[in-house]
């Protein structure tokens, strides 16, 4: 697994493919995906990190940065996901966030769960194995 702040450029291709029905997942993106170089005139910058990490067996990339995006998308046999912010009084779509957990089993498989705080209780909002 790889935990990042800024999403990789592959997040854009994954999200576009999800919208076209090519990739599966859970979509709840509410803002533009901001990747390295997204404001450059030449477009986003791809340094090859995704391909290298994938060649080493990485199955999960989990990032933050785009604070109202909470998608999990299966892309090229890898999960590209956003984590909910767990700091202070953060909100996503009007709901106070608690955070995202990653639970691994002995085989290295994982389950992602994201939580919000609502009506005085912590509530699971989504799950993608």
Domain boundaries, the chain: 2-128
Percent helix, strand, coil in the chain (nearest 5)?
A: 15, 35, 50
Query: pTM here?
Result: 0.76
Per-residue CA distances from 53 to 23, 26, 50, 72, 117 (Å): 20, 23, 5, 18, 34
Bridge partners of 61?
2, 80
pLDDT 10s digits, 17-53 = 988 999 988 766 666 777 777 667 777 888 899 999 9
Q: Say which residues have a Cβ less than 8 Å from residue 91's Cβ, sequence separation at least 6.
A: 97
Sequence length of the chain is 129
Task: Provide φ and ψ at 30, rounded to 5°.
Answer: -125, 5
For every one of its 129 residues, what pLDDT tens digit does the chain have, with 9 covering 90 and above?
A: 989 888 899 988 998 998 899 998 876 666 677 777 766 777 788 889 999 999 999 999 988 765 667 778 999 999 998 877 655 555 555 666 667 788 889 988 888 877 766 677 776 776 443
């Amino acid at each position: 697994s790889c935990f990042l702040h800024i999403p990789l450029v592959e997040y854009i291709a994954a999200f576009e493919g999800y919208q076209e029905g090519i990739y599966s997942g859970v979509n709840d993106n509410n803002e533009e995906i901001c990747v390295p170089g997204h404001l450059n005139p030449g477009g986003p910058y791809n340094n090859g990190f995704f391909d290298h990490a994938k060649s080493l067996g990485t199955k999960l990339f989990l990032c933050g940065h785009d604070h109202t995006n909470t998608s999990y998308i299966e892309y090229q046999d890898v999960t590209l996901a956003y984590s909910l912010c767990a700091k202070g009084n953060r909100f996503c779509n009007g709901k106070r966030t608690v955070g995202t957990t990653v639970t691994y089993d002995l085989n290295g498989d994982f389950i992602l769960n994201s939580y919000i705080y609502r009506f005085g209780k912590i509530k699971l909002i989504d799950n993608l194995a």
